[in-house]
Structure 1
Amino acid sequence: MAMGLLFTSIPEALVLQVGELDTAKKVWEAIKGRHLGAERVREARLQTLMAEFDRLKMKETESIDDFVCKLSEITSNPAALGETIEESKVVKKFLKSLPRKKYIHLVASLEQLLDIKTTSFEDIIGRLKAYEERIKEEEEESPIEQNKLMYVNSEHQSQSGRNYNGDYKNRGRGRGYYGRGRGRGRMYQEFDISKITCFR
């Protein structure tokens, strides 16, 4: 009767493996050994997943959506093995994994304003995605403003060059209509064109 109860409570594949055993004790020991082996495999797999969870970091070029997909996939795998990661732990990991240079100010604000232990993962994602969109808008506007600035600088330089060349014969290095220096009292002299240096 004990062997009959054991055979009805285990999968068919396992029944075929232990069906040749002649006592209920031997059947039980065989089932126990296989279960312990499966349990060790499960524990090893869980350790691997948790190590992967701890190492996960968001790249500078990665979007919030892409990183959330990675994080969600890693956190859902332990659930299939009977281990559930608390939502507050996922939220803390998410905020900790963000690039500090880009998100440090927002993360600091969220940690001060919200209770991270009770805030849902979806709420944090929504806030981060809204912030990401604002950053994209500013980055799209920055090249336009930079081009305007470069255009204004080039216009200013070209005008300065015209002024300098236009006034050269009066403000140059002192050679021109009035000899060698400024205000030295030299009389008006004719100048030799061959001695003029062209700077343009």
Structure 2
Amino acid sequence: MHDLVSCMHELRFGRSPATMALVPHGGGAGGSATMAMPMLTADNYTVWAIKAQAILDVHTVWEAVAPGDAAVNARKDKMVCALLLGALPEDVLLQVSAKLTAREVWDSLKVRFVGADRVRAASLGTLRGEFDRMKMADGEELDVYGGRLAAMAARYANLGETLDDAALVKKLLDTVPDRLFPVVAGIKQFHDVTTMAFDEALGRLRAFDERVRRRGQDGGGRGGEQLLMTAAQWAARESTRRCSGRRRRAQRGVGERRQQAQALLQVRGARALPGTQQRGICVYRV
């Protein structure tokens, strides 16, 4: 318990346990700064870890948790230990109070909420299945769905895996509704989706979706019409077009033959040449 008491002396009493006054290492013209550490709960570890790391990093004490090859500054280590302990619920605090360093406290929390390697592998498999099943729901806003995909990347990172932009872009383009298919086809045809940033793909889809919505609200032109045909629709259309063409050509040929016969019969002064009416053939001479 001596280590716990030593760490807790770094807190400024009289404040909420989640709000502490930090003094940057080495002093500084700005003096002390007040920064709120989020409280850890049973289901917010991913978000809590991101916020906690940002707060520790802005005060240049994150190196106490991830020192690399450098030696850990003792004052920074105590500062981080105090901040972490002050953001823990009582049951978790009692479990990590025997840890000697801030690195040990952080790793203990990670093992508790993320799990050991075996649990991590199982969690990662569950997460992959959840990612594979993701799709944009009916009526869901594009920004909301993009946020769900980005959150999935953060969950992957928390398990030590990387969900890169290529996987996110592919998932985004493959699971958006049919109304966005024209722009999806354009992106895949004219851009390299393996190197495209996720934010860029989301921005292109958002711009197209906004134009379609605006045209629909204005009642303009072909906003609600079908832009592309299925293979069956295209084949039926071509078959109808060919049949219509044949009928028009047949009707034109009949009309031409009728006109020729009428012109031949109306020739004035025509008479049959003698000896030529053979085998149903009649030759006229003007």
What TM-score results when the alignment is normalised by the length of structure 2? 0.37
Q: Provide structure 2 residue ranges, at least 5 long, that are not aligned to the other structure.
A: 1-93, 99-110, 221-286
The alpha-carbon distance between structure 1 residues 15 and 38, as it changes in their structure 2 partners (threshold 3 A), is farther
CA contact (8 A) 1:92 1:116 kept: yes
| Whole-angstrom distance in 1 between the partners of 2:122 and 2:215 | 46
Match of 2:148 among 56, 70, 87: 70
Map of 2:236 onto structure 1? none
Alignment of 1:111-150 (within 5 A): 111-142=188-219
Map of 2:40 onto structure 1? none
| Whole-angstrom distance in 2 between the partners of 1:66 and 1:14 | 37
| Whole-angstrom distance in 2 between the partners of 1:134 and 1:15 | 57
Match of 1:88 among 166, 176, 182: 166
CA shift for structure 1 position 122: 1.0
Query: After TM superposition, what 4+ stretches of structure 1 lie above 2 angstroms from structure 2?
Result: 12-16
More helix by proportion, 1 or 2?
A: 1
- Identity over aligned pairs, percent: 36
The alpha-carbon distance between structure 1 residues 47 and 141, as it changes in their structure 2 partners (threshold 3 A), is same
Q: Secondary structure of the equivalent of 1:83?
A: coil
CA RMSD of aligned residues (A): 3.1
Q: Secondary structure of the equivalent of 1:53?
A: helix
Q: Provide structure 1 residue ranges, at least 5 long, that are not aligned to the other structure.
A: 1-11, 17-33, 144-200
CA contact (8 A) 2:124 2:159 kept: yes
CA-to-partner distance for each residue in 1:83-120, whole Å, 9 max, x for gaps? 11121111101101111x21111111100000001111
Aligned residue pairs, count: 118
CA contact (8 A) 2:180 2:209 kept: no
| Whole-angstrom distance in 2 between the partners of 1:69 and 1:14 | 34
Alignment of 1:21-36 (within 5 A): none
Match of 1:45 among 117, 123, 127: 123
2:209 alignment partner AA: E
CA contact (8 A) 1:53 1:75 kept: no
Counterpart check, 1:103 vs 2:189: no
